[in-house]
């Protein structure tokens, strides 16, 4: 039977602890911004998605790295954003919108703002109710990946920030309404590519199976923490054929895909799906949709014409072989027809590719999205 530690066993000590807890809750809610009435419709809907919370790497980063002064992994300069409204670079690694934007559009929601952009916002809790984007270019499951790739927000840090958001929601709505709000919100996680890139680059510093197992174990802890913080509906976007990114094709004289990187991606995705099944078995209120990015993107690469693409190997923006020797920088050249390319730069898809992937996430068959697609998940 659980018993309190000695420090809290005396009646007077327990009363003091309770008093401090009550006072903390009162102060928190007294000083929290009063926006519950204005957003009553957001968290009283009986069905539908109430908010969108996004975690991950550069595939869904909407500008968090712009607020990290030491980060070298940024996209807040031309030619990024050339097709974005206003033709401006926003921190998205894309010629326009990215996956986060199209996922939000499929839900009928505004694309959530970058968490770090809200540091000086006068009424952050009002924004938190609709969703937040914590994703950061260069992020990985492992904190070591972030250190290797300079300053970014690894998944653990992103979850720390979400914990702060959750606390703000509790103060604003109360425990039960905050819990209900989060249970009807959609959580999206896009992670793993940078960990794989790092493993391949570091010349296999540990056995492959050990590496995949360690990623799966760390991810399991992170997903369980996300669940503990209130997440009940999760879309997990698996890693694509990362060895077919232009950046890794140029490692081969033939320009072919990097077989080891692709093999690791497949093994990682298999491990992720086992983790999701395990958590579902242990926590019955956890519902998920797994998107097999690998299979879909490989289809685009191997049969570009069938999907309306003309180029599935080279990047649109960059310099050198396959436009992949130099990143998409202001000095780089870029293609005129971005819609004809699968890849925007040496790592990231074009806006059109992002849009097509999001459509499969929400409407795809079980060949690509399982056990249900995101559209079915959010209708449960």
Q: Is residue 227 in some structural domain?
A: yes
Q: Is 364 left (phi over 0), alpha (psi -120 to 50) or beta?
A: beta
Residue 75 has a pLDDT of 96
Give the domain extent around 52. 38-377
Q: Is residue 321 in some structural domain?
A: yes
Residue 149 has a pLDDT of 55
Cβ count within 10 A of residue 203: 6
Spell out the per-residue pLDDT of the chain, length 380, in tens. 333 333 333 334 334 433 434 344 434 443 343 333 233 333 233 458 999 999 999 999 999 999 998 899 999 999 999 999 999 999 999 999 999 999 999 999 999 999 999 998 888 999 999 999 999 999 999 998 877 656 899 999 999 999 999 999 999 999 999 999 999 999 999 999 999 999 998 866 789 999 999 999 999 999 999 999 999 999 999 999 999 999 999 999 999 999 999 999 999 999 999 999 999 999 999 999 999 999 999 999 999 999 999 999 999 999 999 999 999 999 999 999 999 999 999 999 999 999 999 999 999 999 999 999 999 999 98
- From the list 181, 258, 347, 348, the catalytic residue is 348
Residue 271 has a pLDDT of 98
Report the domain count for the chain: 1
Nearest-angstrom CA–CA distance, 147 and 153: 10
- From the list 142, 341, 345, 347, the catalytic residue is 345
Q: Is residue 10 in some structural domain?
A: no
- Told to judge if 345 belongs to the known catalytic residues of this protein, a careful annotator would answer yes
Give the CATH number for residue 362.
Answer: 3.40.50.1110
Q: Is residue 23 in some structural domain?
A: no
Non-local CB neighbours of 164 within 8 Å, separated by 6+ positions: none
- Told to judge if 12 belongs to the known catalytic residues of this protein, a careful annotator would answer no
Cβ count within 10 A of residue 372: 16
Nearest-angstrom CA–CA distance, 70 and 202: 23
Cβ count within 10 A of residue 148: 17
CA separation, residue 276 to residues 183, 269, 272, 317 (Å): 17, 11, 6, 36
CA separation, residue 259 to residues 150, 216, 324, 349 (Å): 26, 21, 18, 20
What angle do the packed helices 259-282 and 193-201 form, to 10 degrees? 140
Non-local CB neighbours of 257 within 8 Å, separated by 6+ positions: 241, 243, 244, 248, 249
Residue 148 has a pLDDT of 62
Q: Is residue 135 in some structural domain?
A: yes
- pTM score, two decimals? 0.88
Q: Is residue 19 in some structural domain?
A: no
Residue 203 has a pLDDT of 67
- Told to judge if 348 belongs to the known catalytic residues of this protein, a careful annotator would answer yes
Four-point Cα dihedral 300, 237, 360, 83, nearest 10? -70
Q: Is residue 21 in some structural domain?
A: no
CA separation, residue 2 to residues 5, 10, 25 (Å): 9, 16, 25
Question: Are 230 and 165 within 8 A, CB to CB?
Answer: no
- From the list 39, 57, 58, 185, the catalytic residue is 58
């Amino acid at each position: 039977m659980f018993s309190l530690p000695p420090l809290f066993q005396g009646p007077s000590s327990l009363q003091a602890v309770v008093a401090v807890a009550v006072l903390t809750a009162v102060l928190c809610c007294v000083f929290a911004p009063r926006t519950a009435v204005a957003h009553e419709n957001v968290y009283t809907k009986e069905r539908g998605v109430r908010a969108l919370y996004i975690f991950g790497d550069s595939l869904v980063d909407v500008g968090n790295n712009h607020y990290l002064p030491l980060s070298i992994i940024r996209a807040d300069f031309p030619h990024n954003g050339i097709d974005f409204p206003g033709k401006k670079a926003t921190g998205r690694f894309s010629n326009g919108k990215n996956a986060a934007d199209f996922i939000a559009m499929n839900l009928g929601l505004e694309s959530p703002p970058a968490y770090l952009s809200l540091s000086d916002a006068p009424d952050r809790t009002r924004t938190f109710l609709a969703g937040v984007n914590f994703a950061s270019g260069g992020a990985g499951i492992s904190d070591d990946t972030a250190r290797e790739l300079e300053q970014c927000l690894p998944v653990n840090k992103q979850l720390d920030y979400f914990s702060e958001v959750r606390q703000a929601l509790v103060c604003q709505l109360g425990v039960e309404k905050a819990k209900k709000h989060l249970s009807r919100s959609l959580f999206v996680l896009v992670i793993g590519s940078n960990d794989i890139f790092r493993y391949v680059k570091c010349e296999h510093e540990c056995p492959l199976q050990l590496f995949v197992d360690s990623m799966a174990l760390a991810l399991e802890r992170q997903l369980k923490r996300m669940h503990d913080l209130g997440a009940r509906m999760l879309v997990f976007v698996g890693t694509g054929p990362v060895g077919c990114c232009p950046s890794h094709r140029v490692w081969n004289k033939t320009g072919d895909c990097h077989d080891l990187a692709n093999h690791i991606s497949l093994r990682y995705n298999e491990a992720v799906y086992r983790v999701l099944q395990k958590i579902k078995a242990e926590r019955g209120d956890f519902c998920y949709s797994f998107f097999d990015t690998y299979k879909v993107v490989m289809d685009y690469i191997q049969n570009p014409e069938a999907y309306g693409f003309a180029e599935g190997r080279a990047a649109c923006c960059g310099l050198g072989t396959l436009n992949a020797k130099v990143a998409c920088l202001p000095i780089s050249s870029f293609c005129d027809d971005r819609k004809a390319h699968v890849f925007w730069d040496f790592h990231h898809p074009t806006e059109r590719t992002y849009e097509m992937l999001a459509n499969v996430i929400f409407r795809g068959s079980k060949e690509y999205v399982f056990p249900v697609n995101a559209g079915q998940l959010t209708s449960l």
